Amino acid sequence: MDIEPVDAAPTRGFGRVVLRQRWDDLVFLHWPVEPERVAPLLPVGTRPDTLDGLTYVGLIGFRMVGLGLGIGPGVPYFGSFWETNVRLYSVDGAGRRAVVFRSLDASRLVPVLVARATLRLPYMWSSMGLARDGDRLSYRCRRRWPGPTGATSRIEVRVDDPIAEPTPLEHFVTARWALHTRAYGRTLHLPNWHPRWPLHRAELLALDDELVTAAGLPPPDGPPTSVLYSPGVPVVFGPPRATAVRGD
């Protein structure tokens, strides 16, 4: 099986746009993990994507802005909210790299209910926010529903200089152009596209997180290997397609 390259700025590989949005003020924390420890958590027909024999667990906080259908305007009020997600990295039988979300905490209940009902994504309703003091950013999250209720996360970083050329690891954990999810008895591949990430390295000042373990993942072994920040990008999603899975 040929695996698609890790491409920081690919050509958009789909026509019709089904969703549009913007992701702002992102912080990316990543820890290495042995692939066999997370393989059972991935959708049928996918396996952990690896770099130098390891895969990664990501904890990402950001602001979703202007979520809307197709090329139309963003949904007022409900289309903008804070989000914190826990994710893994996958590759399917066609060699397509993607993200698998173990949890997505969001600060608006309506988008949570819609995403859970349509694509069966593990969205959670949470209290969330971001405090900014110059180059210091503090992200907070407390889960409301469905559970485990009360699970919290607090991330504080100092944003450093822009990155001219990301390392192979920085490309691997950010240059992702699809998600894999399991819905309606099928494994789906949902492609996205956005401009190349404007990335900054960042210094982790504080971390107190319960979301990674609440997502069924092993506790992180020490501080994150990679800490990154991005001011954000506009994003569009194409229509989902079922992956070819033996036995479907």
CATH number at residue 120: 2.40.400.10
Give the domain range for residue 109: 19-241
The answer to whether residue 48 sits within a structural domain is yes
Residue type, 227: V
Count: domains in the chain: 1
Strands (DSSP E) contained in 3-134 are 19-33, 46-48, 55-69, 81-92, 97-106, 123-133
Q: Considering the entire predicted model, what is its pTM?
A: 0.95
**Quick one: which of 189, 210, 197, 147 has its CA closest to 28?**
197
The answer to whether residue 8 sits within a structural domain is no
The answer to whether residue 2 sits within a structural domain is no
The answer to whether residue 6 sits within a structural domain is no
The answer to whether residue 1 sits within a structural domain is no
Q: What is the mean pLDDT of each run of 10 residues along the chain (248 residues)?
A: 86 92 98 98 98 98 93 79 98 96 97 94 97 97 95 98 97 97 95 96 98 96 97 96 67
